Each structure stands twice: as C-alpha cells, then as structure tokens.
A and B are shown apart, each in its own frame.
Chain A
Amino acid sequence: MLEACDLVKRYGPVTALDGFTLHVSAGEIVGLVGHNGAGKTTFVEIVSGLIRPDSGRVTIGGKSPSAARGQVGVSPQHLGLYPSITVREHLKLFGRLAGLRPAALSSAIDDMAVALRLTEIMDRKTGNLSGGQQRRTQAATALIHRPSLLLLDEPTAGADQETRAAMLAMVKQCAGEGAAIVYTTHYLPELTELGATIAVVRDGRIIARGTDDELVQGLPGEVLVSFEDDGEVRVSTTEPTATLIDLLRNAERPVATVEVRNPSLDDLYRSLAVSHDS
C-alpha cells in the first residue's frame, strides 16, 4: 500500500531524512519509534503531500502522494482545529472534502461519533473542549472517509486514558478493515497493544524493524535480589537466568525476594536515546 524508497530531505545544513525506506502493507500497523528530531514527522509530511523529498520515491497504492490524497487520512502531531466550529461541523467539512455525499456523510458522522466517543460533544465548539476531546475530534476528521492509508503522528500525545483506549480500538478496527497504518508514538506499550510491527528511526533512516520480541532480543534485562537485612543487588544482564543462579549461589545472606525483568520496548527506546546522545 505504502512504498517509500530511499527518501532524502534536507533543511539547510540539517538532514531530516537520509535514505528512509519503509513499506507498509494493507492491514498492517507500523509503529514508528525514535527520539525527537529522528525524522518521523518529516516522513509523515512527505507521505501526506505537504512537502516533497529532495530525492527518493513515495507511492500510495501505486500513485504519488498528491494524486492519492483522497485515500489518505492524516492526524498530525499538533492540533489543527477551528475553535469556533463544533465537532459535527468539523466532521462535515472534512467528510465533504473527502467527497462524501450527504447520505454517506451523515452515516459516517454517526459511526465516528460512536467509535471515538464523541456523541456527547458533537454540538460543542472545539475551542471549549478538553485536550483529549480535541485529540479524538482530530482523529475523527482523519478517519471520517475510511482511508486506505492512515498516518497518525503521536495521536495520543497528552491524551487521557479514555481517549487512548478509544483511539487504539479505532486504529485496530481500521487495520482489521484493511487500512495500512503508520503510527508514530513515544508510548511504546501502545504498539504492543496494537500488535504493530515496529520500525526504529534514527538520524533520518530506519535502523531496525520487527516485532517487539525481535527488537528487544540482545538488550539487557535486569535481575534484582533483595535480602532479609534490607540490602539488595541489581544487575543489568543479557542472560538473566544464568545471572540469577550465579547470584543465589554466591549469596552470603538470607534472600527475601528475587525479581527478573525481561528487556522491554522502553529499554530499546532508552538504548536508542543513549546512543543518540553519545
């Protein structure tokens, strides 16, 4: 569905994308993960047709981004809503711009209101809504026409639990209906919950891609041994079982509890941040 090959984008001396390549199939959710400034948002802006790459190629269902705009739904990182306009009026605007005629539009608005829990606030102006309600409204404007490619750039940033749950359920539903989804986030458990494959972005390119299990392989986990006299030993290790056995064998005091923590996506993220800073 989405083919991005060898994208390069520079802003003066800054290289935002440097050989960025990503393929996303219909029905697939790809989570883009990386530190701020890694190139995630630049990639989303190129795919949505806002900016052009200096080199490289993007196709969406075989078409260029500008030709495929009707097939794409975008929820950008920043909120872009009209404060004096109601939620319903936003959905009407974006639905009409996507080509939905009155009957289909009315039905799509009703569906979206239920799916993203907007029913109670449909006739309220977005300037008077909470941050989470605004996030859901923005996502609804991106989804109203059931796009075949969905670009969600940190859609749950600063959102409450209700917003996050509604958003994730909707994303899963869209993927189940065959939409290809690119989902950028710093909240890594969301990607696990979505069952997304993860693409790690650093310095403007994808440096790793796979499931969360595949990506955390080789990262250190942690073994924690607590003693009855309140002391403890904490060891970071890639071989937790062997390390634990070794610690217990050599313990000279009575052990109270042991804890083994396997590497998580957060560890992956931290390791990326450390390598970026260094």
Chain B
Amino acid sequence: MIPDAVRDSLYRIGAIARHNTLIRRRDPGQMIAYIIMPMILMVVLKPLYVRAVPGGTTQVVTGLLVMFSVFALGIAGNSILVERNWQTWDRLRQTRASSAEMLIGKTIPLFIFMFFQQTLLFVYGCLVIGLPVPHSLGFVVLAIVVWAFTLLAVGAALATIARSSGELSMVSDIGAMVLSSLGGALVPLSIVPGWAQAGAHVSPGYWALAMIKSAVRDNASGVLVPAAVLAGLGLVAGAFAVRRLTHGFGRARML
C-alpha cells in the first residue's frame, strides 16, 4: 500500500516528466546530432585507432561514446536553464511540486535519452564497428546508468550557475572536450605524456571510460570502483543543484 503523500508526489513527478518529454520531442535536433555524429566518427576513425593502439576498436567505440555523452550534458543543462528564460521555473515553484520533484521530473526524460543514446552507440559498436560483445550485459547496463546519472547531475548543477545559454554552452562544450580528452576518450592514454596520464584521474571522463571498458571485458572490480567514484560525484552535484534550485534559481539574474 503506497501512502497518499508518496502517490501524490509520484503523480506530480509523472506530470513534469510527461511535460518535459513533450518539449524534448518537439525539438529533437540536438539529441539526434549526438547520436549520428559519433556513429559517423566511429567508422571514419576506426582504422586510425586500430593502427595506433592495441584494442583500437574498443577504444574508438568507448571513447566516442564517452565524449558524445558528455556533450549531451549541455542538453540537460539547457533544459533547466531555459525554464528561467521562459520564466516558468517560478510558476512551477508556485505549485505543489517541490524542487526535488521538479528536478526529478525534468531529468527522467533526459535520463531515458542518455540511456538510449549510450545503448544505441554500444549496440552499433558491436554490430558495425566490431566491438567484442560482452558476456555480462549487467555490467554494461550498470555502467550506462551510473554515467547517465552523473552527467545529468553535473549538467543540472552547471545550469544553476550559468547566467545564459551561451555561457552554459561554453562551459559544457569546452568542459566536454577537456574532460574527455584528458580522460583518454579522444586520444588513448597509453600514447600521451606521463603528466597527462597522471592528471587523467581528476577527469570524470577517465572513470567513465575505465568503467565502460571494464564492462566490455566483464571485469567486475574494474566496473565497480569507477562506478562508485562517478555515483559519488553525481550525488554531490545533484545535491548542489537541488539546493540552488530551491534557493532563488528562478529569480537569479540572467545576462
């Protein structure tokens, strides 16, 4: 038996999620781009990676998957920031929905998109690029779920401090390039200088890449440690976002 308060809360979350799915469906361009672009790049860059490093096929699929999933962070951020441009966030705050309900309702459709994006790229990698099919799909699913959660939380946190869409794009695009490059998604870490290899550990992209590569190889400990690091980062970013959203985000000054 579900208590009435919980049922009401789920109903409101469902309403916001359904509403945001509609908004996404009516403007799908960015989402389509972040699926098609890595698919093309995987085909184009595969020969280069195969010649450059051992396990080049795995590197090109997982690296581009991580890089373009980080780009999708901008979609998450924009979906929250745009509520301030439209002056709708305060309108939602004036309803019975709490800030946590609003954030969860907003991110559910994005989470589904990110899960779909990464799963599709993974399947495409296996079927078209030649990525070895992992024996344990459970690790792959876990890796995708944790990485999508982390990206959403970080995207939401960024949206609450950016003052415009341009500023958010700058932070998320440059951040995506830096973090995925530093993390070894673009250039394999085995061929970068020692200082860059040491610095890679501060990049969430490094942990995501390590987690997804380990999932392909069915390496349990290789999945769980990065998953714990990324989940921790996601929880901190998510808590920050909820706090910002509760304390005057809708009224914050825009550029």
List residues of A whose CB falls within 8 A of some B CB: 48-51, 69-70, 72, 74, 76, 78-85, 89, 92-94, 96-99, 141
A96 contacts B94, CB within 8 Å?
A: no
B97 contacts A97, CB within 8 Å?
A: yes
11 more contacts with CB within 8 A, not counting A50-B251, A81-B88, A84-B27, are A50-B93, A69-B95, A72-B94, A78-B87, A82-B88, A85-B19, A93-B19, A96-B14, A97-B12, A97-B96, A99-B12
User: Can you list 6 A-B contacts (CB < 8 A)?
Assistant: A50-B90, A50-B251, A51-B248, A82-B86, A83-B86, A99-B8
Chain A neighbourhood of B90, CB < 8 A: 50, 76, 80
B16 an interface residue at 8 Å Cβ cutoff? yes
B215 CB to closest chain A CB, in angstroms?
A: 37
Per the bound structure, the CA–CA distance linking A232 and B92 in Å amounts to 57
B253 an interface residue at 8 Å Cβ cutoff? no
Chain B neighbourhood of A94, CB < 8 A: 95
Given A50-B250, A85-B19, A97-B15, are A80 and B86 neighbors across the interface (CB < 8 Å)?
Answer: yes
B96 contacts A99, CB within 8 Å?
A: yes
Per the bound structure, the CA–CA distance linking A76 and B94 in Å amounts to 10
Residue of B nearest to A151 (CB): B94
- Report how many residues on chain B are interfacial, defined by Cβ distance under 8 Å: 25
Per the bound structure, the CA–CA distance linking A137 and B8 in Å amounts to 25
B51 an interface residue at 8 Å Cβ cutoff? no
Per the bound structure, the CA–CA distance linking A109 and B86 in Å amounts to 23
A82 contacts B15, CB within 8 Å?
A: no
Chain B neighbourhood of A83, CB < 8 A: 86
Residue of A50, A74, A82, A85 contacting most chain B CB atoms (<10 Å):
A82
A70 contacts B86, CB within 8 Å?
A: no
**What 0/1 readout, one digit per residue, does chain B (1-26) give for beta carbons within 8 Å of chain A?**
00000001001101110010011001
Chain B neighbourhood of A89, CB < 8 A: 19, 22
B95 contacts A97, CB within 8 Å?
A: yes
Per the bound structure, the CA–CA distance linking A85 and B112 in Å amounts to 21
Chain B neighbourhood of A81, CB < 8 A: 86, 88
Chain A neighbourhood of B12, CB < 8 A: 96-97, 99
Per the bound structure, the CA–CA distance linking A227 and B142 in Å amounts to 92
Per the bound structure, the CA–CA distance linking A48 and B93 in Å amounts to 9
Per the bound structure, the CA–CA distance linking A76 and B12 in Å amounts to 21
Residue of A nearest to B15 (CB): A96
A97 contacts B92, CB within 8 Å?
A: yes
Residue of B8, B94, B96, B250 contacting most chain A CB atoms (<10 Å):
B94
Residue of A80, A83, A85, A99 contacting most chain B CB atoms (<10 Å):
A80
Per the bound structure, the CA–CA distance linking A89 and B91 in Å amounts to 15
Residue of B93, B95, B97 contacting most chain A CB atoms (<10 Å):
B95
A80 contacts B91, CB within 8 Å?
A: yes
B89 CB to closest chain A CB, in angstroms?
A: 8
Per the bound structure, the CA–CA distance linking A76 and B90 in Å amounts to 9
Interface positions, chain B 65-91, Cβ under 8 Å from A, are 86-88, 90-91
B97 contacts A82, CB within 8 Å?
A: no
Residue of A nearest to B14 (CB): A96
Chain A neighbourhood of B95, CB < 8 A: 69, 94, 97-98
Partner of B11, one of A69, A78, A79, A96: A96
Residue of A nearest to B24 (CB): A84
Given A84-B27, A97-B96, are A76 and B91 neighbors across the interface (CB < 8 Å)?
Answer: yes
Given A82-B23, A85-B19, are A74 and B94 neighbors across the interface (CB < 8 Å)?
Answer: yes
A80 contacts B88, CB within 8 Å?
A: yes
Per the bound structure, the CA–CA distance linking A96 and B11 in Å amounts to 7
Chain B neighbourhood of A74, CB < 8 A: 91, 94
Chain A neighbourhood of B94, CB < 8 A: 48-50, 69, 72, 74, 76
Residue of B nearest to A93 (CB): B19
Chain B neighbourhood of A99, CB < 8 A: 8, 11-12, 96
Residue of A81, A89, A93 contacting most chain B CB atoms (<10 Å):
A93
B86 contacts A93, CB within 8 Å?
A: no
Chain B neighbourhood of A96, CB < 8 A: 11-12, 14-15
A183 CB to closest chain B CB, in angstroms?
A: 17
A84 contacts B23, CB within 8 Å?
A: yes
B83 CB to closest chain A CB, in angstroms?
A: 9
Chain A neighbourhood of B86, CB < 8 A: 80-83
